Amino acid sequence: MNILIAILVLGVIIFTHELGHFAAAKFFKMPVSEFAIGMGPQVYSYDTMKTTYSLRAIPIGGFVNIEGMDIDSEVEDGFNTKPAYARFIVLIAGVFMNFLLAFIVLFITVYSNGMYKPETKPIIGEVFPNTAASKYIKAGDKILDIDGNAITQWKDIGATITKVTKDNKEIDNIVVTLEREGQAQTLDVPLTKDPNEDRKILGVVPKFIKEPISIGEAAKLSVKSGVKIFTDTLNGLKMIVTGKVKTKELTGPIGIIKVVGDASNQGVSVVLWLMALISVNIGVLNLLPFPALDGGRLIFVILEMVGVKINKKVEERVHIAGMIFLFGLIIFITTNDIFNLVK
């Protein structure tokens, strides 16, 4: 079941990307001979007068066959017969749809889950299990007093502990009065040394309350999250180029299927967040100015738009070389995925 969910997630992302190319090509009246989801031999196809819609045996990848992209093509209204701006829009439409999908998925996730805000009352949400206080304090306890200091708000807890330990740095325990199941209790609670800072802590976090969020706020947070994923993806690529990420750590379609499959056990929200993450990643990768990718083709179109003419045969050879390299890279990463799964 997990694998099916993962394949469905990838299928939606790929379908959305190819739909962008397809819709833009149709808008500019470019002939599209096939819209395929998957790779390999056809499993199912539906033929219309102008386009064949097909599902292929290997449920990874997909393509839109826009006619007229070959140099010697004489197809009427073919891709290369259209003005540069039209070709630019068709090429970038897939990436745009990837980003749009990510925004929609993030928006649905944020809007449906609402905003979680910390409770201002001194109610314990969680006690860190590796702290000494975990044996004394439980989630749901309400702190009433610490060493004779009344606690009325959550911020009072940290402020009081800081004050008490500052006055007596040798102190290891504090007297905590709390309310548990309607009963007041007074406990001698040990503090824990913070491994990151020179201080002692109780090791608790507040209770969080789910609050509804407006459509506007959800949209704003979705854009902010999408931009964060985008910049993280660019930073990740930079780490790969500079050698900070080892090649054996690269993950391809098989590895992604495993990650998404495992995430499906953690709920719909996690799967949707991963869908947005993968969609942005695919969009960024397709924008790279590398031959055969959308970004590589866009470079030649942009050069044409600014008046720089490139020999079409030279361009075709560059894209063929890029395609060969990409196939080799895919084989390497897939082999790496299989090796990691077996290991």
User: So which residues are the catalytic ones?
Assistant: 18
Return left, alpha or beta for 218; rule: phi > 0 is left, psi -120 to 50 is alpha, else beta.
alpha
Return d(Cα 291, Cα 319) in angstroms, integer.
Answer: 5
Return d(Cα 302, Cα 308) in angstroms, integer.
Answer: 9
Which amino acid would we find at residue 310?
Answer: I
Q: Are 29 and 6 in contact (CB under 8 A)?
A: no
Return d(Cα 195, Cα 203) in angstroms, integer.
Answer: 11
Q: Are 122 and 154 in contact (CB under 8 A)?
A: yes
Q: Are 29 and 46 in contact (CB under 8 A)?
A: no
Radius of gyration (C-alpha) of the chain in whole angstroms: 28
